[in-house]
Amino acid sequence: MTAPSTYGLSTQARNLQWLLTDLVEEVPGVNSVAVVSSDGLLLLSSDPGAGAVEPPAEPRAKGPRGASADLATIVSGLGSLTTGAAALMDTGAVKQTMVAMEHGSVFVMAISDGSLLGVHATPDCDMSVVAYHMALFVGRAGHVLTPEVRSELRQSMENTP
């Protein structure tokens, strides 16, 4: 895979991109990864058309800005839905959501700043391995996603052709 352009990004933003690249490259079955801000904006993506890392070799359907933009929309919606459900049931904060479908799975994990990490994986992925690597990403990224870094990542995504 080709690394994303990190020209002009802070060390923290480059580190987050490296963590995302590592998640995509090291975890079998991962198709697409997106980090979404608490207000639903795409911050990081595994879709090169959206500005982060190259996707796996197999082709994917393209949305307005590629599969990761679609994933970001889904992640934001699932995050909102499950947060509302948790509030109605008075069960505390949502930590992780997993949707298993016939032809794939979607995982959503909360990051400490209110952002969400979303992964679209193949139906034959090892769900525990995906969840474990997501937890590692969240643990490493949570303290780095400051308002300044979120703003920088948002700006970087907006400037991507």
Spatial CB neighbours of 38, under 8 Å, sequence gap ≥ 6? 113, 114, 115, 116
pLDDT at 1 over 80: no
Q: In whole angstroms, give the CA distance from residue 33 to residue 119.
A: 5
Q: Tens of pLDDT along 70-90?
A: 899 999 999 999 999 999 999
Please give the CATH number for the structural domain made up of 29-158. 3.30.450.30
Residues 129 and 88: beta-carbon distance below 8 Å: no
Q: Tens of pLDDT along 37-48?
A: 988 899 998 875
Residues 32 and 21: beta-carbon distance below 8 Å: no
What is the chain's mean pLDDT, rounded?
83
**pLDDT score at 131:** 96
pLDDT at 52 over 90: no
Q: In whole angstroms, give the CA distance from residue 89 to residue 48.
A: 39
pLDDT at 57 over 60: no
pLDDT at 10 over 80: yes
pTM reported for the whole predicted model? 0.82
Q: Tens of pLDDT along 103-136?
A: 999 999 999 778 999 999 999 999 999 999 999 9
- Domain locations along the chain: 29-158
Residues 114 and 41: beta-carbon distance below 8 Å: no
pLDDT at 50 over 80: no
pLDDT grade for 54, boundaries at 50, 70 and 90: very low
